Chains A and B, each alone.
Chain A
Amino acid sequence: MSETQAQMSMNENDGNKLVYKTNGLNLWYGENHALKDIQLHVVENEVTAIIGPSGCGKSTYIKTLNRMIELIPGVKTTGEILYRGRNILDKTYPVEELRTKVGMVFQKPNPFPKSIYENVVYGPRIHGIRDKKILDQIVEKSLRGAAIWDEVKDRLQTNAYGLSGGQQQRLCIARCMAIEPDVILMDEPTSALDPISTLKVEELLQELKKNFSIIIVTHNMQQAARISDKTAFFLNGEVIEFTKTSKIFSNPSDKRTEDYITGRFG
């Protein structure tokens, strides 16, 4: 089976529900062809990891999934990204609606300079929730969901900047969960964290995937191996291999994947 066929079969054979279907996605930054004919389907309630060297297009790809990429001037796309069956690249697709469904956690924890409580209720407030009781419930549920409730429940009104890096990142995950998204995008969410905080976030992902679909960009190969169900290897804007994580890390089909994951790339 050729690599393209293998990739296709991974895309086609899943009986599970698909959250995203990316068909023939191309993306240019001006003249720079950054994503080339991407074919990649994301299954519901799975963790999909995206790996690849710097500049391979993995962050670009994840940013197209919530259309954050539009913020960069000179970006042009062709092809389609179906989210729950609707093409989000279609300009008539309301981006605000998309972003309530698709949350994002970034590399560096970026809490607002507000209290822990205000950080979590920020999104729900924007969506018009005013009832204090409901907001209280959202705060507890989200912080519990992000495995940080016990650490912060007695200091909800203190500034989020007083938290450690690992706590801040889990707060950002809680803030993301507060709007009850369908998908959580994570762009290297643990690269600024210490090993223990990293493991806490990884543990958390296993819990989160019961209710959310997660797409995570990571530079940490062992992390991809530990946490994800499927892994896509990007190189020079192409998906070289997309298959079960166990297959990628034990017996990848493509020599380039093997060279990258075994650290022989360059």
Chain B
Amino acid sequence: MAIREKFEVDLKELQRKLKELGTFTNDSLIRSLKALETKDINLALEVMEEDTKANILEEEINDFAIWLIAQQQPVSIDLRRIIGVIKIATDVERIADFSVNIAKSTIRIGKEGTIGPVESIRKMHQLTLEMLELSLAAFIEEDVEKAKKVAAMDDQVDELYGQTILQYLKNHEGSPESLAETTQLSFVCRYLERAADHCTNIAESAYYLVKGRRYDLNS
């Protein structure tokens, strides 16, 4: 017999909002790399402008979560879930900010860039997208195995990050005119690596939700 039906409905609504933020951020990450690949300044500007939506969604999630705490005085897994949503919303919003950072780098490189993203950036980008989806699913589906996968993928991203930076520095040797572009592309690597770290944080929140204790998936 379901007793707290309204509360159940509200918790689902809270998670739905989180998913919405996740979908928006996923889209923003895809478009920011597309803008970088195609030197599409307009698309980059769009990514920057639309980021307001992520901020608004995060605020809505926090307001709703605070109201649920006040109204329902949740304990145990309910409380962990609500606190988890608040923390994850911050992580996801931050990832959306990295899309903006990538868009800004795209604008700084401009139409004249000659190097462009290398294959390993694409791989990092793809991994980060998958990690975002998987980590949110780990939380919503309470699936610890998915959370562990995210941790393993983060190791791959970290390795790719090191390789990519080295490759850019190597490519830069003998062509000092490309310093500005190389720097921006190195920044993009850094943004992706940081975004992947935030996905790992989300996976940790999923782990905490299910197990009720903290686990450092970064170590």
A→B interface (CB under 8 Å): 221-222, 225, 249-252, 258, 261-266
Contact of A250 among B1, B3, B75 (CB under 8 A): B75
User: With A and B bound together, what is the CA distance between A112 and B3 in angstroms?
Assistant: 40
Chosen A-B contacts, 27 in total, with CB atoms closer than 8 Å, are: A221-B75, A225-B75, A249-B75, A250-B75, A250-B76, A250-B79, A250-B80, A250-B212, A251-B76, A251-B80, A251-B212, A252-B76, A258-B76, A261-B75, A261-B76, A262-B4, A262-B74, A262-B75, A262-B76, A262-B77, A262-B78, A263-B4, A264-B2, A264-B3, A264-B4, A265-B3, A266-B3
Q: Is the interface of B mostly helix, strand, loop or mixed?
A: loop
Report the count of interface residues on B (CB-CB < 8 A). 15
> Counting CB contacts under 8 A, is B170 at the interface?
no
Closest to A265 in B: B3
Residue B175 is within 8 A (CB to CB) of chain A in the complex: no
Which of B73-97 touch A at CB < 8 Å? 73-80
Known: A225-B75, A251-B76, A262-B77. 12 other contacts (CB 8 A): A249-B75, A249-B76, A250-B79, A250-B80, A251-B212, A251-B213, A252-B76, A262-B76, A264-B2, A264-B3, A265-B3, A266-B1
Closest Cβ–Cβ distance, residue A198 to chain B (whole Å): 15
Chain B residues in 8 Å Cβ range of A252? 76
Residues from chain A with a CB closer than 8 A to the CB of B212 are 250-251
Closest A residue to B1 using CB positions = A266
Measured CA separation A53–B75 after assembly (Å): 17
- Known contacts: A250-B212, A251-B212, A251-B213. The answer to whether A258 contacts B3 by CB under 8 A is no
